[in-house]
Structure 1
Amino acid sequence: MSILPIIGKLILGFIILLLIMRLMGKRNLAQLNAGDVIYLLVFGGILEESLYDNKVKYGHVILTMIAWGLIIFLFEYLLYKSKIARFILKGNTDVLIKEGDVYTKVLKYNRLELDQIHSIARNHGIFDLSEIKNMYIESDGGFTIETYDYKYPLKEYDYNNYDLIKNKTINTINLRKINQNEVWLYQQLNKRGIKSIEDVFYADWSFDRGIHIIKYK
């Protein structure tokens, strides 16, 4: 098999794919959604199948990739015009935390856990969960965080936090570190109308601002 047809198809596929990517808009890799990934996978499959098959001519490659590009264009146009189609095919923004409380079902639906919330917060420069007022997961998988208003920006070293309740388990070691016990902890929960640690998503203590409790909503 001659190498020249393969190289020619590769160059042709690269040019067409680049043009269609430009038509999709100036989105970076972090902004690619599920539809974009499917577009690229099918493009790759079309090009791969055509490379080593001599029966597939240049015209076939061009027509197939243009046809797929047209399908993409019509699909994106449908999403642009129809709010219902956008909701069904791309999803919608979900509220994870509202006014400091966690929406349990939304968290589970998006397969998120406490450690991931901590990691996402740190990526946004937030090292204390008590700063988070509202938290959203966007339809493209990105996160938006609205914080409470503070007079000065907080840094990681500003607080030495002690986990008290995590994964519905009381951390007795940290309770001893802050010179408290489980009786005191349940008193703090009762003050906020919480009867069981099953209703607590997360709780910690800082000597700078006291106890902070995030409830399940």
Structure 2
Amino acid sequence: MTEDIFFQGWSGVGRVLLIGSLAYVYLILLLRVTGKRTLAKLNAFDLVVTVAIGSTLATILLSNDVALAEGIAALTLLAALQFAVAFVSVRWQGFANVVRSEPTMLLRKGEFCRDAMRRVRVTEDELMTVLRSHGGRTRPGEVGAIILESDGSFSVLDADEDVPHPDRLS
């Protein structure tokens, strides 16, 4: 019984090596054809697609229930949907507003933007952590702004930089 945990036979290892190699080569070719945007983490939607592609590849590799053709179809579908969403977003602003979020200013010229912080569920303590991780700053007045970007990362603008008005971030 415990032997099955560590080794279930050479056929399973061979399947992972063969199917994994083929799926990997296909994924690389697919990403080259669809362009850099397929894996760009520009917003939450892009992150979800990136995670879904990774999960799909793992399933192709490890599940005996998924044939290579089904896995390739799933990867192609994810890339095609990502392409379609990006294509429509560039051409229709209303759709773009639905699938992507805008950057949010959380601190401006030493003052916390409390309404914005509440809206995006970020605490003052979390912003202090952001300050410390960006140059070891310890006081809000030492920076010009902290912005929560569309991809979930934080940007810290120096105090001497031209800080945009919160309504003009995008």
Instruction: Provide the TM-score with structure 2 as the length reference.
Output: 0.66
Report the alpha carbon displacement of residue 68 of structure 1 after superposing the two structures with TM: 2.6
Report the alpha carbon displacement of residue 145 of structure 1 after superposing the two structures with TM: 2.7
SS, match of residue 139 in structure 1: coil
After superposition, the Cα gap between the structure-2 partners of 1:111 and 1:41, relative to the gap in structure 1 and judged at 3 Å, is same
Say which of 53, 58, 68 aligns to 2:65.
53
Percent identity of paired positions between Structure 1 and Structure 2 = 19
Runs of at least 5 residues in structure 1 that lack an aligned partner in the other structure: 151-217
Aligned to 1:35: 45
Q: Aligned pair 1:75/2:76, yes or no? A: no
In 2, the alpha carbon distance for the partners of 1:43 and 1:94 equals 28
Letter aligned with residue 120 of structure 1: V
Maintained 8 Å contact 2:39/2:46? no
Maintained 8 Å contact 1:6/1:52? no
Query: What RMSD, in angstroms, separates the aligned Cα atoms of the two structures?
Result: 3.2
Say which of 112, 121, 138 aligns to 2:122.
112
Runs of at least 5 residues in structure 2 that lack an aligned partner in the other structure: 1-8, 162-170
Aligned to 1:133: 144
In 1, the alpha carbon distance for the partners of 2:159 and 2:72 equals 54
Maintained 8 Å contact 1:94/1:136? yes
Letter aligned with residue 83 of structure 2: F
Q: Aligned pair 1:62/2:72, yes or no? A: yes
Higher relative contact order (CA 8 A, sep 6+): 2
Aligned to 2:5: none
Number of paired residues?
147
Report the alpha carbon displacement of residue 24 of structure 1 after superposing the two structures with TM: 4.8
Maintained 8 Å contact 1:135/1:143? yes
After superposition, the Cα gap between the structure-2 partners of 1:37 and 1:24, relative to the gap in structure 1 and judged at 3 Å, is farther
Task: Answer 1 or 2: which has greater helix percent.
Answer: 2
Render the CA deviation track for 1:51-77: whole Å, top value 9, x for unaligned.
4027x3x43333332233212211222
Say which of 13, 18, 22 aligns to 2:28.
18
